[in-house]
Structure 1
Amino acid sequence: MKLNTHASLLAFNTLALDAHALWLAEIDCVADLTALHADSQYSALPRLVLGGGSNVLFTSDFLGLVILNRLKGMTVQDAGDHWLLHVAAGEEWHQLVHHALQQGWHGLENLALIPGTVGAAPVQNIGAYGVELANFCCYVDAFNWHSGAVERITAAQCRFGYRDSIFKHEYQDSHLITAVGFTLPKAWQPVVGYGPLAALGEQPSAQAIFDTVCATRMAKLPDPAVLGNAGSFFKNPVVSTQLAEQLKQRYPTLPCYPAAQGSTKLAAGWLIDQCGLKGFTIGRAAVHQQQALVLVNLGGASAMELIALAAHVRDTVEQRFGVVLEHEVRFMGLHGETQLDEVLA
C-alpha cells in the first residue's frame, strides 16, 4: 500500500481539477483495507474511493482519506447455461468488456468504452444503449468498514435503479466494493433498440454491436486525456408520460423511451441541444461542441466555473421545457458527497 499526505488529485479525476486530499492511499489487496480499518488515524476520516475518477467533480479539497482501488484479477466458471465471472474492482471496465467479447462471453458489449473501473460500475448502475449493469450483475463483494470484513451483497440487495444503487445511499460510507460477479447467458440475445444499433438489424453479432458502440462514443465523446470531462454530466430525465406527450406535441422530434409504468425517459442531451447551449462557456468551462450532454474543462477551469455552467444548463432546460435535470456526476466537497444546490447555497 502506498500512502501520501496532502496529495494532489489532479491525475486521478478526468475533469482535471487540481483538488487535494488529506490522505491518499493506493491499495492492491484486501489486507490493505484491513490495515486502514485497524488504524484510527485513517479509519475515523471521511472516505472517498476512486477507480478511474471519471464520474466525480471536486468542488473543493477533500479533508479525508481518498482510496485508489487497484484490486486486480478475474476468475471464470462454466455454470451450464451461463458464464459466471468474478472480477476484481480495480480492473478497467472497458478492458473487461473487450476481453469478454474475445472469449465469446456476450452481453456487455452495449457498455463498451464507458470509462472507469469495475468497482465503480455498480455504484452508478452504469448503462448505455438499452443495457444496464443490473442486467448481468449477480452479486457485489464489498469491504464493510464497520465489521472490517468482506461481505457478499446479492443483486437484489443492491437495489439497482436508474443510475442508482444502495452504494449511493445506505452503503455509501460503510462499504468499499472489492469485486463484482457477472452472469453472462450462453443463449445470448442482442439488444439493439437504441440509437445507431437499430440500423444493425434484428440479429447482429456481438462484435458488430461492440464496434458500433465504440465508433459512436469515439465520434461523440471527447477523450478525457485531451479535453477534461466526466462523460455524461446529467441523467436522462424520467418524467410523467402525460408531460412527455405534451412535450412531444410541441416538439415532434423529442426522443422518448418507455420507463416505469406511467413514466417516460427523455434524452437530456437533446433538451440541452435545443436550448442552443452547445459551445456555451463560463470561464474555461464549456458545453461540448459535439455532445451537449458533456461539460468540458478547456484547460485551467475552476470547480466553480464548472458548477456555474452546470447550474446554467439545468436552469435553462427547466425554463424552456419544465424538466429538471439531475447531475449524474458525483459532486465531492470538503467532507464528502454534496449536491449542486448545496454548493450554490
Structure 2
Amino acid sequence: MIVQEQVSLQAYNTFGIPATARYFSTFESIEDLGNILSDSRWKNMPLLILGGGSNILLTKDFNGLVLKNNIKGIEKTGTAGDHVYMKSGAGENWHGFVQHCIQENLAGLENLSLIPGNVGASPMQNIGAYGVEIKDTFHSLTAFHIEERKIMTFNNADCKFGYRESVFKRELKNEFVIVDVTYQLNKTPHFNTSYGAIEQELTQMGVKDLSIQAISQAVINIRSSKLPNPAEIGNAGSFFKNPEIPATQYETLKAKFPNIVAYPLPSGHVKLAAGWLIEQCGWKGFREGDAGVHAKQALVLVNYGRATGSEIYDLSSKVLASVQEKFGVALEREVNII
C-alpha cells in the first residue's frame, strides 16, 4: 500500500475545499483495508474514510490518515419471487449504480437518480428524494470493524434508519467502514410520482406509458434545473435537513405565516420545507466573498471558487440563527462537518 504525505483533498470533496491530509491512501478491497489499518503507525491517529466526498465540509486540514474507498463491483446475488438482490461495492458511484439497475429493469431506486456521492454513503445517510428513502429497498450491508478488524453484516433493522440518519451516524459513528451494500429491488415497479414536480415534468416530457426509465429521467431533469453541478460550483447538495415539528407548533406558525410549506407525517408531526424557511429569511442568492446560498435552491450552500470550509460553516451558522429567530425552528446541518 502506498501512503502519501501532505495530500490536497480539494479533488476529493465536492465543495472543492483545499484542505490537506497529513497522510493519504486508497483501498480497493477488504484485504487492502485490513492491511493498511494493521500498521501500528495509525493506531492512535485520527482516521477519515472518504467516499464520493459529497456530504462533507472540511473546515481545516486533517491531521491524520485519510483513506479513499475505491471498492468497486456490481452483481446480482439472488432472486426471490418478484425481488432481485443487487450488491454494489461501496466505492461505486451512486448514480451509476442506479442507472445500472434501471437498465436491468429493476425498480425501486429510480426516484433517487442523480444524487451525488458513492454507494457506501447511501445507507449511512439514509439518502432520500421524491418520496423514497434508502430504507425502502435496503436489504443488507457488509462493514469492517476498525478496532476489531472483523467483518460484520447489518440488515435493515440493524441500521436503525431515520430521516437522513442511521446507526453509523450515531452510536456506531467512526467504528465501521462500509464495504458493500445489497438492495432488494423489484421486477414489477410500484411507481411513486406524487412528490415534487415529477408528474408535471412527465407531462412536459410527453410520457404516455409510465416506466422507471421515464421517472428516472424526470428526476434527472428536475435536479439538473434546480441544483448546481458540483463540477461547476462547489457544493454538497442539501446542506440542511427539513425540520419535523409537532402539529401544534405548526398550527401556530401557519396562523402567522399562511404560506408556510409543510407536509404531514404519519407520526402526527409535520415536516417543514427548510428551503422555504431559509428563503423567507432573505438568504436565497446571498453571497459573502466566495461563500453563498444558491440562487435557485436556498437549501444549498455553495463555494464560488475560493471559499474556505470555515467560511461556509460560518455562513451556515448565520442561516441557522436567522431561521431560529424568525420562526422559532431549529434547523440541523445534513452535511458532516470535519
Question: What TM-score range do you get, normalising by the shorter chain?
Answer: over 0.9
Matched, 1:28 2:34: no
SS of residue paired to 1:190: coil
Matched, 1:148 2:139: no
Match of 1:338 in 2: none
Match of 1:343 in 2: none
Contact 1:282 1:308 in 2 (8 A): no
1:213 partner amino acid? V
SS of residue paired to 1:48: strand
Match of 2:173 in 1: 172
Deviations 1:166-216 (A, max 9, x none): 111222221000000100123321112211124358983212211111011
- CA drift of 1:259 comes to 2.5
Deviations 1:131-156 (A, max 9, x none): 00011111110011122122111110
> Which of 317, 323, 332 is equivalent to 1:326?
332
SS of residue paired to 2:197: helix
Match of 2:223 in 1: 217
Structure 1 length-normalised TM: 0.93
Match of 1:226 in 2: 232
Contact 1:159 1:165 in 2 (8 A): yes
Q: State the distance in 2 between where 1:131 and 1:286 align.
A: 29
Q: State the distance in 1 between where 2:263 and 2:212 align.
A: 23
1:35 partner amino acid? N
Match of 1:83 in 2: 84
Match of 2:275 in 1: 269
Contact 1:2 1:27 in 2 (8 A): no
SS of residue paired to 2:278: helix
Match of 1:134 in 2: 135
Q: State the distance in 2 between where 1:43 and 1:87 align.
A: 29
> What are structure 1's unaligned runs of at least 5 residues?
333-345
Match of 1:204 in 2: 210
- CA drift of 1:101 comes to 0.8
- CA drift of 1:30 comes to 1.0
Q: Out of 268-277 and 159-168, give the one that drifted further.
A: 268-277
Match of 1:114 in 2: 115
Match of 1:125 in 2: 126
Contact 1:143 1:178 in 2 (8 A): yes
Q: 1:241 to 1:198 in 2, by over 3 A?
A: farther
Q: State the distance in 1 between where 2:281 and 2:170 align.
A: 33
> Which of 223, 228, 236 is equivalent to 2:242?
236
Deviations 1:40-68 (A, max 9, x none): 11243221111110110111111111110
Contact 1:111 1:129 in 2 (8 A): yes
Contact 2:60 2:310 in 1 (8 A): no
> Which of 245, 253, 267 is equivalent to 2:251?
245
Cα RMSD between the aligned structures? 1.6
1:65 partner amino acid? L
SS of residue paired to 2:301: strand
Identity %: 45
2:141 partner amino acid? V
Contact 1:71 1:88 in 2 (8 A): yes
- CA drift of 1:279 comes to 1.6
Match of 1:341 in 2: none
Q: Out of 162-171 and 195-204, give the one that drifted further.
A: 195-204
- CA drift of 1:106 comes to 0.7
Match of 2:48 in 1: 48
> What are structure 2's unaligned runs of at least 5 residues?
none
- CA drift of 1:253 comes to 2.7
Count of residue pairs brought into register by the alignment: 332
SS of residue paired to 1:157: helix
Match of 1:162 in 2: 163
SS of residue paired to 1:118: coil
Match of 1:189 in 2: 190
Contact 2:126 2:165 in 1 (8 A): yes
Contact 1:47 1:64 in 2 (8 A): yes
SS of residue paired to 1:179: strand
Contact 2:27 2:33 in 1 (8 A): yes
Q: State the distance in 2 between where 1:120 and 1:168 align.
A: 11
Q: State the distance in 2 between where 1:252 and 1:185 align.
A: 41
Match of 2:288 in 1: 282
2:13 partner amino acid? N
2:125 partner amino acid? Q
2:38 partner amino acid? A
Q: State the distance in 2 between where 1:198 and 1:326 align.
A: 30
- CA drift of 1:260 comes to 4.8
Matched, 1:316 2:322: yes
Q: Out of 231-240 and 70-79, give the one that drifted further.
A: 70-79
Deviations 1:115-142 (A, max 9, x none): 0000011111000011000111111100
